[in-house]
Chain A
């Protein structure tokens, strides 16, 4: 049973364009939603994260949009660059914050290719 569903599986965007990756979840116990970026042969690296009491969070060119009622969240990469080419994973952690075991539950990933 996949608890976090991610789409699309792959994405090709032109340099300067907007990359959008979507995730959906069912478990309302999730209370923290990080996004990770992974380059080939490397471990995942935290990119940006959001709590469900916030509808949007922006850090530089990266924005998370969160829709609690729809149980969906998305990553937007503005002005996409070839260096952004990587696999992106959405994830979720069950609450309560600080009291749970805190293991991340990952989506299956989106392979992003930004063409120059």
Chain B
């Protein structure tokens, strides 16, 4: 399968713990996006990378959220000191360039986070 993969698919954690999610994009894609989706809502943009450079991070929800893409391939999203309000589906998407005709974003299956 050459699609976007995410790991783990589900994560249950206790409030205050740190969690890290991984995303492996489609191999030739140099753009990687992270979105958050809460129940009954559309995905909400968090941050994105072009290759290894994080070009937008002002939309990360708080300073407890951070993301990396160290070698321009896979990416990780870390949430420190989790809160119950962080419970959501975290989606990763990749595309060739900025997105648009011929550069559509392809989404992974998501990581469902539950904070107890």
List the interface of chain A (C-beta within 8 A of B): 6, 31-32, 34, 36, 41-46, 49, 51, 89, 91, 93, 97-109
Inter-subunit contact A102/B103 (CB<8 Å): yes
8 contacts between A and B (CB under 8 A): A43-B107, A43-B108, A46-B106, A97-B101, A99-B98, A102-B99, A104-B93, A106-B44
Residues of A within 8 A of B104 (CB): 34, 46, 49
Q: Which residue of A lies closest to B6 (CB)?
A: A43
Interface size on B, residues (CB 8 A): 31
Given A46-B106, A102-B95, A103-B48: A97 touches B42 (CB 8 Å cut-off): no
Given A43-B4, A46-B105, A97-B100: A105 touches B45 (CB 8 Å cut-off): yes
Given A42-B109, A43-B91, A43-B109: A100 touches B42 (CB 8 Å cut-off): no
**Quick one: which of B60-102 are within 8 Å of A by CB?**
91, 93, 95, 97-101
Does B41 interact with chain A (Cβ within 8 Å)?
A: yes
Q: Which residue of B lies closest to A4 (CB)?
A: B42
Does B16 interact with chain A (Cβ within 8 Å)?
A: no
Inter-subunit contact B110/A43 (CB<8 Å): yes
Inter-subunit contact A103/B56 (CB<8 Å): yes
